[in-house]
Structure 1
Amino acid sequence: MAGGLAALLDDIAALAKLAAASVDDVGAAAGRASAKAAGVVIDDTAVTPRYVTGVSPQRELPIIWRIARGSLRNKLLFILPAALLLSQFLPWLLTPILMVGGTYLAFEGAEKLWEAVTGHGGKEVPVAAEEDGAAAEKRLIGAAIRTDFILSAEIMVISLNEVADEGLASRAAILVVVALLMTVLVYGVVAVIVKMDDVGLRLAQTRFGASAALGRGLVAAMPKVLSVLSVVGVVAMLWVGGHILLSGVDELGWHWPHDVVHHLEEAVHGVAGVGGVLTWLVGTLVAALVGVIVGAVVVGVVHLVHHVRGGHDEAHDEAAHGEGAHDEGDAAPAP
Structure 2
Amino acid sequence: MPTGLVALLDDVSVIARAAAASLDDVGAAAAKAGSKAAGVVIDDAAVTPSYVTDFTPDRELPVIWRIAKGSLFNKLVILLPAALLLSAFLPGAITPILMAGGLFLCFEGAEKIVEKLGAEKIGETLDDQPKDVAAFEEQRISGAVRTDLILSAEIMAIALSEVADQGIFQQGIILAVVGILITVVVYGAVGLIVKMDDIGLHLVEKSSALARSVGAMLLKAMPVLLMLLATVGTLAMLWVGGGIILHGSEELGLHGPAHLAHDAQIAVELATGPLGSVLGWLTYAVISAIVGLVLGAIVAGIVHVIAMARGKH
1:117-153 deviation digits (Å, cap 9, x = unpaired): 1233513333894522222222222222222222222
Q: CA deviation at 1:19?
A: 2.6
| Equivalent position amino acid for 2:173 in 1 | A
Q: Which moved more, 1:254-263 or 1:54-63?
A: 54-63
- 1:48-59 residue pairs with structure 2 within 5 A? 48-59=48-59
Q: Which residue of 2 aligns with 1:290?
A: 291
Q: CA deviation at 1:169?
A: 0.7
Question: Retained in 2: the 8 A contact 1:41–1:186?
Answer: yes
Q: Give percent identity, aligned residues only.
A: 53
Q: Distance in 2 between matches of 1:306 and 1:161?
A: 35
* SS of match in other structure, 2:120: coil
Q: CA deviation at 1:157?
A: 2.0
Q: CA deviation at 1:3?
A: 5.3
Structure 1 residues not aligned, in runs of 5+: 312-335
Q: Distance in 2 between matches of 1:21 and 1:276?
A: 33
Structure 2 residues not aligned, in runs of 5+: none
Q: Distance in 2 between matches of 1:214 and 1:24?
A: 41
What is the root-mean-square deviation of aligned Cα atoms in Å? 2.1
| Equivalent position amino acid for 2:112 in 1 | K
Q: TM-score with structure 2 length normalisation?
A: 0.91
| Equivalent position amino acid for 2:188 in 1 | G
Q: Which residue of 2 aligns with 1:243?
A: 243
Q: Classify 1:126/1:104 alpha carbon distance in 2 versus 1 (closer, same or farther; 3 Å).
A: farther
Larger Rg: 1
* SS of match in other structure, 1:228: helix
Q: CA deviation at 1:93?
A: 0.5
Question: Retained in 2: the 8 A contact 1:127–1:133?
Answer: no
* SS of match in other structure, 1:140: helix
Question: Retained in 2: the 8 A contact 1:86–1:94?
Answer: yes
* SS of match in other structure, 2:274: coil
- 1:27-176 residue pairs with structure 2 within 5 A? 27-126=27-126, 129=129, 131-176=131-176
* SS of match in other structure, 2:273: coil
Question: Retained in 2: the 8 A contact 1:47–1:237?
Answer: no
Q: Which residue of 2 aligns with 1:180?
A: 180
1:67-119 deviation digits (Å, cap 9, x = unpaired): 21121111111221111211222111111111111111111111121122123
Q: Which residue of 1 aligns with 2:21?
A: 21
| Equivalent position amino acid for 1:188 in 2 | G
Q: Which moved more, 1:182-191 or 1:49-58?
A: 49-58
Q: Which moved more, 1:126-135 or 1:91-100?
A: 126-135
| Equivalent position amino acid for 2:249 in 1 | V
Q: CA deviation at 1:180?
A: 0.9
Question: Retained in 1: the 8 A contact 2:242–2:290?
Answer: yes
Question: Retained in 2: the 8 A contact 1:53–1:227?
Answer: no
Q: Distance in 2 between matches of 1:197 and 1:179?
A: 29
Q: CA deviation at 1:202?
A: 0.7
Q: CA deviation at 1:248?
A: 1.4
